[in-house]
Amino acid sequence: MQRFDVIILGGGLVGLTQGIALSAHGVSCAVVDPADPHAAIAPGFDGRVSAIASATWKMLQTIGVGAHLEGKGCPIERIWVSDGLEPGALEFIAPYEDGAMGTMVENRDIRIALRDAAGQAADLTVFQPDRAINVERDADGVRMTLASGVQLSAGLLVAAEGRNSPTRDAAGLRVARWSYPHVGTVTAIEHEVPHANTAYEIFYPGGPFALLPMQPGNRSAIVWTVPEKHAAGMLALSDRAWLAEAQKRMGGFLGEISIISPRSSYPLGFHHAARITDTRLALVGDAAHGIHPIAGQGLNLGLRDVAALTQVVVEGMRLGLDTGDAQLLARYERWRSIDSLSVSVATDSLVRLFDVPGKLPSAIRRFGLGAVQRIAPLKNRFMAEARGESGALPRLLMGEAV
């Protein structure tokens, strides 16, 4: 039986970050993941990128992941939000002294950086590919047997297995969920006019059209949300026809464009767990909540879970408490519940608000965007949300070790 302070099921972007963050503070961790470790970092760009908010980027720097991402991402210095191509857009520009609002990074580069950082972590052991075939949780601790025959024990189990977390479901934690009648299509383009480190979010009835800046300055990722009934037809279009449709959404402001990665799609949905803790169990990332990609906050929300749980566990251990102590889990539940719910509800509301067709709803939306543009305190609040710097921040999100 191998003994650890914490066992993490799931070695994706959130799960592996959780293990690295805890081990950086001397907490011994095991990460168990069934995925092929080479498949996720295979060469080639699949169009998937993530916007890492500035606060989250500080955490990655603090726990040693940032050093492996140097030169990999594109800073987001400007965000442009509009209702179609109508006038009255909302524009966020990062104050020079505060740096970028975030960094756009290819998911493959994040996975490679996490793998390299995990390989240098003294208190982190990764079992991959492997999976738990038997898990026991009770007041005395957590015990599990892996498919490889290895036996593990710990004080706390962290579920980071994604939207369909079997650990969450086995614990009987109820989840509110629904599917959107939309499909997210992703690809990447090269364009004639440089993007100037700008992220564009253009809303249309049927779904938003997002252009996300990549390095070098004439490449952008596209996340194009389309009605579910049109998704198959959009993917079946020839490159020439697809580019013509994309130019209609863009209005040609980036000049001539060409496709540089395969087009792919994925379903969109919402889910939120009623509770994110149980006996010696904590949920993080998509195991706890899943939101529409409309504001690019999904991964950041999960990494905020990581920062909070790390602080709760590390501070508890310094007081002599066990990692799975009920007091610590109650603190984590309180800390994350309000933030994750408020972001989830706000994101869902945006989806529904901008999906209403017609001239009157469009005029109302443009009035709202214009009001935010003109009212400085309100605009600053939105900018703080985009940077991930609102609410009671864990120390890691401020760039400080716990």
Distance, in Å, from the CA atom of 59 to the CA atom of 55, rounded to the nearest integer, reads 7
Question: What percent of the chain clears pLDDT 90, i.e. is strictly above it?
Answer: 68
Per-residue pLDDT of 332-390, as tens digits, reads: 999 998 888 888 888 888 777 777 777 777 777 777 777 777 777 766 777 677 777 77
How many separate domains does the chain show? 1
Asked if residue 247 is part of any domain, the answer here is no
pLDDT, average across residues 230-254: 93
Q: Which of 11-25, 121-135, 306-320, 388-402 has the lowest mean pLDDT?
A: 388-402
| Residue 132: predicted pLDDT | 97
Residue 282 within any structural domain of the chain:
yes
Decide if 186 is inside a domain. Answer: no
Q: Cα(104)–Cα(215) distance, rounded to whole angstroms?
A: 9
Task: Tell me whether residue 211 is in a domain.
Answer: no
> Is 235 a member of any domain?
no
pLDDT of residue 205: 83
State which residues form the domain around 320.
Answer: 2-176+269-398
> What is the model's pLDDT at position 352?
79
Looking at residue 45, its pLDDT comes to 59
Residues 148-178: tens digit of each pLDDT? 999 999 999 999 999 999 999 999 999 999 9
242 Cβ contact list (under 8 Å, min separation 6): 234, 259, 263
DSSP string, 229-257: HHHHHHHHS-HHHHHHHHHHHHTTTT-SE
In a domain, 212, yes or no: no
Residue 209 located in a structural domain: no
Tracing tokens 């994040």 back to the chain, one arrives at: 110
Predicted local distance difference test score (pLDDT) of residue 44: 67
DSSP 192: S
Residue 24 has pLDDT above 70, yes or no: yes
Within a domain: residue 181? no
- Residue 330 pLDDT > 80, yes or no? yes
Could you tell me the CATH number of the domain that includes residue 382? 3.50.50.60
